[in-house]
Each structure stands twice: as C-alpha cells, then as structure tokens.
Amino acid sequence: MRESLDEPVSVIWFYNAARKHVQLSRMNWNGQHYSLGKIDFWHMTRAGDTLIHHFSIADAEGAAYFKLALNTDSLQWTLEEYMTANDMALEYGHAT
C-alpha cells in the first residue's frame, strides 16, 4: 500500500562536484535506519518562491521505496510517500 506521509526524516547525502551528482546514502525514519540505493527519479517543483527537490529511491535491499523531498530554503527533508516491495508490483487490466 502506498502511504502519503509528509513526515520529517533525517538523510545523509553526498554531492560529487566533479560528476555534478547527488547520492542519498542513509535515511532515519521513526527510529529505523535505511541504507539507500540509486536515485530512480528526480524532479523539482516550487512552493511559492521555495524550490523543492523530489527524489524517488529504494532502500539498498529493494524492500521499500521512498519519495523524499528537500526544501531548499530550510534544508529540511520530508518523506512524502512510502511503499513496501510487495506493493510495487504493477497490475494491468483490460478495458472492456
């Protein structure tokens, strides 16, 4: 089940200036630590004058999937959505 959360989280992340690349490394949410894998999708939005970076990323084991947002004014990370691996299966139906 996909859950919309909008909860603050702690994130350890790195920026490589030579490659102009951001990598999220670890996240702490509700007292649990998650090692993060490769960023699957990234985009930006604006909330008024504030730029928000959105990241879609799985944990390193592929057991959970997260949508994270970074507020560039406050530098606060927010967990927007969470899914378990069981919830990630796509289902296709046929229109009649």
CA angle 45, 79, 91 (to 5 degrees): 85
For the chain, the domain total comes to 1
Long-range contacts formed by 46-50: CB under 8 A, 24+ apart: 47/71, 49/73
35 domain-assigned? yes
44 domain-assigned? yes
93 domain-assigned? no
Confidence at residue 89, expressed as pLDDT on a 0 to 100 scale: 54
Q: In a 10 Å sphere around its CB, with 0-12 CB exposed, 13-18 middle and 19+ buried, how is residue 52 labelled?
A: middle
Helix or strand or coil: residue 87? Answer: helix
Q: What is the largest CA-CA distance in the chain?
A: 53
95 domain-assigned? no
Domain of 81? Answer: 3-88
Q: Extract the tokens encoding 29.
A: 């949410």
Q: Which of 2-6, 24-28, 56-60 has the lowest mean pLDDT?
A: 2-6
94 domain-assigned? no
39 domain-assigned? yes
pLDDT single digits (tens) 77-90: 999 999 987 776 54
